[in-house]
């Protein structure tokens, strides 16, 4: 390895000059990333299956193959969620091994700066982030929605997928309130399951409760089916097979209000935000998660910068183990602060764009500043 590094000494000063050393560093990083990712996801899945297997196999018509179905639906979310953390571990391991083997010292003696050493790792991290983003938008969101639909049906077999469903919609209709257990769209038809309407007087006291097994919106009109009406003043109950539902509620509002950001792709999330904003509803929660869809994969790019502490924090004779612990602490710190700001953004305490991007920018600036300080 020493001969290999010295042989490229004449090219080390060029920050963006790819060569065999870039390929060498990138290959080490990719291999470690793949091994750690597979190992981590496999371990988490085994623990998850141990906890869930009894519930899954208790589903109506369940077979052992359903355990594999659960794994395939659960894995995409775990991959998306832990990809930045795996990149951090991979970068730490890669740089630490290089440091122990004196390769970092030789690279610096050949006029490679700390930033130059990190370029291959950051390039691969950026590529991983882009792949993760595409994977999340095309695979993860659909797997999450299908798993949620399957779980809501007690893991029963032969449950058709509900590709455009949300759960637990509360909607205002003038002074009245409407709750639907699920809202599903099939083309131009919207189906609500287990609908309850609370009719209130001018003092917002409930006077009647209307319950329907389901409601259908088709051809610009609503219809309730299997309807029961409870009059709280007379205590009378009336039953109808179906009933025209006179309401001004736009059908999309049911889905928009109950939408779960990590179960839909960007275009659909953007449409939900526009729908709610046009009706005067707050969208801090969805706006924060919209930005977070970009921040999560991009945070992979931060990890080599944070991991630089393991390689460049002290001289080779320093406490490498201590540097690794500090680097891990910084990585965990980023995830903790990031989740804290997400919560603040969702509850409107911090503007969504700041809540989503501030931790990324602060830790990125801290990592970059540290790398620059090592060059002084």
**Domains in the chain: how many in total?**
2
Q: Is residue 346 domain-shared with residue 315, that is, in the same domain?
A: yes
Q: What is the CATH number of the domain that holds 192?
A: 2.60.450.10
Chosen domain end from 226, 251, 276? 251
**Inside any domain, residue 286:** no
Crossing angle of helices 352-373 and 114-135, in 10° steps, is 150
User: Which range is least confidently modeled, 5-19, 84-98, 101-115, 136-150?
Assistant: 5-19
Domain for residue 135, yes or no?
A: yes
On whether residue 58 sits in a domain, the answer given is: yes
* 179 and 199 belong to one structural domain: yes
* Residue 65 sits in the same domain as residue 105: yes
Check residue 14 and give its pLDDT.
41
16: in domain: yes
**Model confidence band, residue 17 (pLDDT cutoffs 50, 70, 90):** very low
What pLDDT was estimated at residue 321? 74
57 and 145 inside one domain:
yes
Question: Does pLDDT of 188 surpass 50?
Answer: yes
Average pLDDT of the chain? 82
Instruction: Give a yes or no: residue 242 inside a domain.
Output: yes
Residues 30 and 83 in one domain: yes
Question: Do 172 and 145 belong to one domain?
Answer: no
Do the Cβ atoms of 333 and 274 come closer than 8 Å?
Answer: no
Confidence of residue 252 (pLDDT cuts 50, 70, 90): confident
Same domain for 83 and 139, yes or no, is yes
Pair (178, 83) in one structural domain:
no
- List, in sequence order, every residue forming a beta bridge with 165; answer none if it has no partner: 184
| Residues 215, 149 share a domain | no
- For residue 3, pLDDT beyond 50: no
Structural domain boundaries enclosing 350: 2-155+291-373
pTM for the whole structure: 0.76
Domain boundary among 251, 275, 308: 251
- Which of 251, 272, 302 is the endpoint of a domain? 251
Work out the pLDDT band at 89, boundaries 50, 70, 90: very high
Stated as kind and residue range, the H or E segment containing 196 is strand 189-200
The DSSP code for 347 is T
My answer on whether 62 and 108 are in the same domain is: yes
75 pLDDT tier (thresholds 50, 70, 90):
very high
Q: What pLDDT digit, counting tens, does each position of 326-343 carry?
A: 888 888 999 999 999 999
Give tens-digit pLDDT for 260-319: 778 788 988 888 888 778 767 778 988 999 999 999 999 999 999 888 877 776 444 456
User: Is position 274 within any domain?
Assistant: no
Length of the chain: 376
pLDDT tens digit sequence for 20-49: 788 888 999 999 999 999 999 999 999 999
- H or E segment and range at residue 184: strand 176-186
- Whether 67 is in a domain gets the answer yes
Alpha-helical segments (H) within the chain: 2-7, 20-57, 65-100, 103-109, 114-135, 141-152, 251-257, 266-278, 284-298, 302-312, 320-346, 352-373
Residue 27 and residue 123 in one domain: yes
In a domain, 261, yes or no: no
Together in a domain, 20 and 115? yes
């Amino acid at each position: 390895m020493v001969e290999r590094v010295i042989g490229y000494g004449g090219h080390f000063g060029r920050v963006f000059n790819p060569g065999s050393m870039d390929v060498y560093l990138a290959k080490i990083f990719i291999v470690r990333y793949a091994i750690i990712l597979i190992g981590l996801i496999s371990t988490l899945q085994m623990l998850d299956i141990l906890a869930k297997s009894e519930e899954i196999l208790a589903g109506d018509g369940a077979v052992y193959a359903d355990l594999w179905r659960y794994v395939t639906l659960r894995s995409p979310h775990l991959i998306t969620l832990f990809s930045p953390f795996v990149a951090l571990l991979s970068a730490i391991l890669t740089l630490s091994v290089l440091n122990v083997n004196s390769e970092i010292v030789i690279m610096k003696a050949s006029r490679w700066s700390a930033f130059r050493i990190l370029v291959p790792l950051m390039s691969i991290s950026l590529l991983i982030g882009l792949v993760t983003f595409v994977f999340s938008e095309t695979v993860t969101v659909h797997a999450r929605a299908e798993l949620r639909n399957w779980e809501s049906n007690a893991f029963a077999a032969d449950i058709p997928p509900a590709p455009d469903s949300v759960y637990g919609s509360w909607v205002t209709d003038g002074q009245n309130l409407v709750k639907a257990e699920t809202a599903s769209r099939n083309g131009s038809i919207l189906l609500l399951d287990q609908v309850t309407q609370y009719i209130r007087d001018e003092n917002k006291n409930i006077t009647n409760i209307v319950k329907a097994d389901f409601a259908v919106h088709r051809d610009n009109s609503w219809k309730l089916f299997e309807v029961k009406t409870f009059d709280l003043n007379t205590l009378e109950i009336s039953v109808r097979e179906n009933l025209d539902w006179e309401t001004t509620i736009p059908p999309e509002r049911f889905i928009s209000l109950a939408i779960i950001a990590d179960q839909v792709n960007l275009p659909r999330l953007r449409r939900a935000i526009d729908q709610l904003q046009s009706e005067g509803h707050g969208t801090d929660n969805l706006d924060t998660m919209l930005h977070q869809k970009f921040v999560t994969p991009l945070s992979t790019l931060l990890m080599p910068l944070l991991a630089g502490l393991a390689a460049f924090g002290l001289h080779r004779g320093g406490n490498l183990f201590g540097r690794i612990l500090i680097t891990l602490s910084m990585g965990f710190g980023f995830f903790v602060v990031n989740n804290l700001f997400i919560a603040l953004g969702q509850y409107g305490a911090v503007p969504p764009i700041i809540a989503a991007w501030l931790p990324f920018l602060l830790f990125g600036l801290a990592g970059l500043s540290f790398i620059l300080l090592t060059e002084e």
